[in-house]
Amino acid sequence: QVQLVESGGGLVQAGGSLRLSCAASGRTFSTRVMGWFRQAPGKDREFVAAITWSGFNTYYADSVKGRFTISRDNAKNTVYLQMNSLKPEDTAVYSCAAANTLIVVTAHTRYNYWGQGTQVTVSS
C-alpha cells in the first residue's frame, strides 16, 4: 500500500524558514490529492495546505496563507511544504496525507494514507 515519509523538521527561530518533504511509495503518486496537517500537544489536528495531483489547484489555511507554499514533483513522488516567516504558534508535528479525491479537501477524514509526522519547533 501507500507509504508516506516526512522529513525536514527541526528547531528554528521565529522569522526563520524550513522546508518539509513527503516521499511517497507503493502506488502511483499522481492520482492523489496531497495535504499537510499539523497537531500541537493538547490541540486538535489542523489543516495546513493541500494540492491536486496536477499541482494546478492549491488551498491554504488562513493562518498560513502568504507564508507557506505547497508544491509537488510527481516524477520524484514527493510533495513539499515551504514554510517562511515562522511563528511560535506554528510549533507542531506536521504530517502529510494522501486522499483519493481529485479536488482539494480539508477534512482529515477524507485522507486515506498518513505519514508518521515530523516535529517543527519555532522558538521566540
Q: Hey, is 109 helix, strand or coil? A: helix
- List CB contacts of 97: < 8 A, sequence separation 6 or more: 4, 34, 35, 36, 37, 108, 111, 112, 113, 114, 115
The predicted-structure confidence for 78-102, as pLDDT tens digits, reads as follows: 999 999 999 999 999 999 999 988 8
Nearest to 63 by CA among 42, 49, 79: 49
H or E element at residue 31: none
The predicted-structure confidence for 95-124, as pLDDT tens digits, reads as follows: 999 998 888 999 999 999 999 999 999 999
Task: Give the confidence band of 12 by pLDDT, cuts at 50, 70, 90.
Answer: very high
**Mean pLDDT of all residues in 19-31:** 81
